[in-house]
Structure 1
Amino acid sequence: MKPPGHAADDEPDTWHVLQAVTSTSRANILADIVGHPKGAPSVDELSKTNPSLEKDTIRGHLSVLRDVGVVEELTIPAGERTRGYPYKFYRLTRQARELFDANGLFPEDAWKRQYDRLTKDAEMRELERMPRPVPDPDTSDDDRSEELTAD
């Protein structure tokens, strides 16, 4: 039996995806993902841009967004992690970008301009400079690895 809101090919249907992303908190998180300079912020970065939300609440919203196929999690392998720094990052899936573009949602240019206007402390600037993991082509939903490599 398929979970509610999933089409025959186990992909979430458009209605359930749009329903999930229109929650105010999830929409704000998505806007921050879209606007992020590397397109893949960590929970630490998302908590700085959403100070009214606890990190566990952000993780819960990200879980919902993962379940409906809107975001994917990128993880730095255990041997490559830096102590005290995030090792999980979140980016839009290719399918989500296509759906949003088709419906005029989360325009990348507008949200990048908005994100650039944020006042950022030294910690936030340091977090933004962190290299992001390169998605595994066998498990990732697309081939945007070039935009997620270190500067």
Structure 2
Amino acid sequence: MRPEPVEASDGGADGATDAFDPWLALQRVTDETRANIVADVVGHPKGAPSVDELDYINPSLEADTIRNHLKTLAEAGVVEELTVPAGQRTRGYPYKFYRVTEAARELFDRNGLFPAEAWQRQYERVEKTPEIRELEAMPRPEE
């Protein structure tokens, strides 16, 4: 039996909604690489890594490959992009971050997928450079 889509706000100013399709979301996260990326997003200390951080944690992937997977996950409503406003950006630092959407987190929790505590422990075990630790400490936009 296929789960029914759930109405979820897209965060737009016009109040429009997009239907979150749990079936599509689950299909997208069953790809091994995308599942690893979602696990890394969930495990990140602030729950919203940049592509630079994901690139470091996934050395076998190119940054563009990670971006493509994030786009696929965003289109399925699994992750959302947080962007630092233009006037608040710091040169040389990332201004886009990615977090799991509320609808996806609820779906994962109902199905025992991507438990935050377990992935946070796993993420913390990775040895990180001072540069990556600095990126981890950066504030994230709230959006």
- Pairwise same-fold verdict (TM > 0.5): yes
Three-state SS of the structure 1 residue aligned to 2:67 is helix
TM-score, normalised with respect to structure 1: 0.82
| 1:134, distance to aligned residue in structure 2 (A) | 1.6
- The secondary structure found in structure 2 opposite 1:96 is helix
Structure 1 alignment gaps of length 5 or more: 1-5, 136-151
1:97 aligns with 2:121: no
State the shift of 1:16 in Å: 1.4
Output one character per residue of 1:107-134: Cα deviation in whole Å (capped at 9) or x when no partner.
0010011111110111111110111112
CA RMSD of aligned residues (A): 1.5
Given residue 101 of structure 1, which amino acid in structure 2 is its aligned partner?
Answer: D
Letter in 2 for 1:42: S
Name the residue aligned to 1:56: 64
Q: Secondary structure at the match of 1:74?
A: strand
Task: Kindly indicate whether residue 140 of structure 2 is the aligned counterpart of residue 132 of structure 1.
Answer: yes
**By percentage of residues, which structure has more strand?**
2
* Cα displacement (A) at 1:8: 8.9
Helix, strand or coil at the partner of 1:91: strand
Matched, 1:116 2:128: no
Unpaired runs of 5+ residues, structure 2, are 8-17
SS of 1:86's equivalent?
coil
Q: 2:110 aligns to what SS in structure 1? A: helix
TM normalised by structure 2 equals 0.87
Q: Secondary structure of the equivalent of 2:66?
A: helix
Count of residues paired in the alignment: 130
Q: Distance in 2 between matches of 1:109 and 1:134?
A: 21
1:58 aligned partner, one-letter code: I
**1:22 Cα shift?**
1.0
Q: Which residue of 1 aligns with 2:86?
A: 78
